[in-house]
Amino acid sequence: MKKYILTSTLAALLTLGGLSVPALAGPEDVVVEHAWSRASIGMNRPGAAYMTIRNTGDEPVTLIGLATPLAMMPEIHETKTNAEGVSSMSPAGEIAIAPGESVALEPGGLHAMLMRLQELMTEGDTFPLTLLFDDGGEVTVEVPILGIAARGPED
Amino acid sequence: MRRRAILGYGAAGVGAVALMLFVGWWQVDGPGGPEPVGQRPVALTEMDFRLTDHEGNAVGPETLIGRPTMAFFGFTYCPDVCPTTLSDISEWLDDLGDEAEEMNVVFITVDPERDTVETMAEYVGYFHPAIRGWTGPEEQIARVADSFRATYERVPTESGDYTMNHSASVFLFAASGRFVTMIDYHEPREFAVPKIRRALEEEMEGAT
């Protein structure tokens, strides 16, 4: 079990990076950067969120799930495009991140799929998303909601 | 009598050979042959389908002929690939500037059950104004996809809903309707705009 402290270094790092994504609490070794999502059209469609999850520690970490008040079924999904150019999406399962490595959740690959939205995702708002790790650790990030046509965290 | 019998056997033999040739052709090159994988789309001039655009206008392949066309498949309940493709295209169109105004840009749904004309109108409204949203009856969507050699498939999700697997490439056609090339989903962005320019240039050549 890792220590649950809000490190000032982490907060400083995120602030220096010009990111509006303060980690609220979490294992000191996991750093979440560049989190963003797209506004939703209504509440029937699933939303998607993206971010980079970095393991700055000496031991591997395994992401096993997500939790958010925004959606009943948040899950890490992966989009794959085959040789014929056909894209499909499926649950990604557990994601192990080796020490010093990072995993990018980005368009066209891994993403936090937000199924059964409980509220509208409105541009300019944020929502808390908690990453659950296999050692019981949690990291919560505030994910900014950008426009529907956003392409990345800078949009 | 005997001669007639021989003639009869001969005719039967010729018939048998012809039948064998026909069967062979049917299985290899004919309609019975296997569909080659990754085949190119046919020319727009050879397509035949009736759809409705997001403003309620009746549209078909002939709507696209005369201007270069960028077309792709998707659905509005798609959380990842489709908004990404639409945003990419919006950015390519911004890069092209005035040239983009000479193009047709069409987003064709593979999920007509949920993507009505109104839904398509709302959805395309969030992206570049050149992008048109086309929908229509299921069997017409199937015809379009077939002509493009595109595929789609309805897949149930754990949430009790469904999602669609579909061809995510962007197809480019010249003003004449001829298929030029496609932009694959994971292709680096910097290749896209030159490819679009190529389709636009073919139009210029055709005009002179």
Residue in chain B closest to A150 (alpha carbons) equals B87
Q: Which residue in the set B79, B87, B182 is minimally distant from A46, CB to CB?
A: B79
Alpha-carbon distances, residue B62 vs A19, B102, B144, B186 (angstroms):
49, 16, 13, 30
| 8-state DSSP, A22 | -
| Average pLDDT score over residue span A37-60 | 94
Residue B129 lies in a domain: yes
Taking only the tens place, the pLDDT of each residue in B102-146 is 899 999 999 999 999 999 999 999 999 999 999 999 999 999 999
Residue A89 lies in a domain: yes
Q: Do B30 and B68 fall into the same domain?
A: no
What is the distance between the alpha carbons of residues B14 and B18, in angstroms, rounded to a whole number? 6
Give the CATH number of the domain where residue A25 resides: 2.60.40.1890
- In the predicted structure, residue A21 carries a pLDDT above the cut 50: no
Q: Does A149 sit within 8 Å of B182, measured CB to CB?
A: no
Residue B135 lies in a domain: yes
Q: Do B29 and B57 fall into the same domain?
A: no
The pair phi, psi for residue B128, each rounded to 5°, is: -55, 135
Alpha-carbon distances, residue B67 vs B51, B181, B184 (angstroms):
18, 15, 22
Domain that holds residue A35: 8-146
Residue B125 lies in a domain: yes
Residue A137 lies in a domain: yes
Into how many domains does chain B fold? 2
Bridge partners for A105 per DSSP: A51
Helix (H, G, I), strand (E, B) or coil at B201: helix
pLDDT of residue B99: 86
Distance between A107 CA and the closest CA of chain B, angstroms: 6
Q: Please, what is the angle between helix B189-207 and helix B81-96, to 10°?
A: 50
Bridge partners for A50 per DSSP: A36
Residue in chain B closest to A117 (alpha carbons) equals B159
Q: Does B159 sit within 8 Å of A115, measured CB to CB?
A: yes
Q: Do B49 and B30 fall into the same domain?
A: no
Q: Do B24 and B52 fall into the same domain?
A: no
Residue A36 lies in a domain: yes
pLDDT of residue B14: 73
Residue A3 lies in a domain: no
pLDDT of residue B186: 76
Residue carrying the six token digits 């292709």 = B187
Q: Does A86 sit within 8 Å of B151, measured CB to CB?
A: yes
Residue A143's closest CA among A126, A124, A119?
Answer: A126
Residue in chain B closest to A110 (alpha carbons) equals B80
Into how many domains does chain A fold? 1
Mean residue pLDDT across chain B? 87
Residue A2 lies in a domain: no
| Average pLDDT score over residue span B152-169 | 90
Q: Are strands B131-135 and B104-109 parallel, antiparallel or unpaired?
A: parallel
H or E element: which one contains B138? helix B138-148
Q: Do B4 and B99 fall into the same domain?
A: no
Q: Do B108 and B129 fall into the same domain?
A: yes
Distance between A13 CA and the closest CA of chain B, angstroms: 29
Residue B39 lies in a domain: no
pLDDT of residue B3: 61
Residue B167 lies in a domain: yes
Residue B63 lies in a domain: yes
Computed on alpha carbons and rounded to an integer, the radius of gyration of chain B in Å comes to 23
| Average pLDDT score over residue span B90-109 | 92
- In the predicted structure, residue A16 carries a pLDDT above the cut 60: no
What is the distance between the alpha carbons of residues A92 and B81, in angstroms, rounded to a whole number? 16
Domain that holds residue B50: 44-207
Q: Does B151 sit within 8 Å of A84, measured CB to CB?
A: yes
Residue from A77, A86, A148 to probe the interface with B (highest B Cβ count within 10 Å): A86
Q: Does B76 sit within 8 Å of A115, measured CB to CB?
A: no
Residue B126 lies in a domain: yes
Task: Read off the tokens for A151.
Answer: 């392409």
Q: What percent of chain B has pLDDT over 70?
A: 85
Residue from B40, B78, B80 to probe the interface with A (highest A Cβ count within 10 Å): B80
Q: Does A114 sit within 8 Å of B87, measured CB to CB?
A: no
Residue B103 lies in a domain: yes
pLDDT of residue A154: 82
Residue A154 lies in a domain: no
Residue carrying the six token digits 């929502």 = A127
Q: Do B121 and B176 fall into the same domain?
A: yes
Question: Which residues are CB-contacts of B75 (< 8 A; sequence separation ≥ 6)?
Answer: B82, B109, B110, B111, B114, B115, B164, B166
Q: Do B197 and B125 fall into the same domain?
A: yes
Q: Do B94 and B114 fall into the same domain?
A: yes
Residue A153 lies in a domain: no
Q: Do B6 and B104 fall into the same domain?
A: no
Q: Does B77 sit within 8 Å of A85, measured CB to CB?
A: no
Residue A152 lies in a domain: no
User: Which has the higher per-residue pLDDT, A10 or B65?
Assistant: B65
What is the distance between the alpha carbons of residues A24 and A142, in angstroms, rounded to a whole number? 8
Contacts of B155 in chain A (CB under 8 A): 88
For residues B183 and B191, the answer to whether their CB atoms sit within 8 Å is: yes
What is the distance between the alpha carbons of residues A54 and A28, in angstroms, rounded to a whole number? 11
Alpha-carbon distances, residue B18 vs B6, B8, B12, B26 (angstroms):
18, 15, 10, 12
Give the CATH number of the domain where residue B136 resides: 3.40.30.10
Q: Do B105 and B177 fall into the same domain?
A: yes
Taking only the tens place, the pLDDT of each residue in B61-89 is 999 999 999 999 999 999 999 999 999 99
What is the distance between the alpha carbons of residues B104 and B131, in angstroms, rounded to a whole number? 8
Q: Does A122 touch chain B (CB under 8 A)?
A: no
Q: Do B144 and B90 fall into the same domain?
A: yes
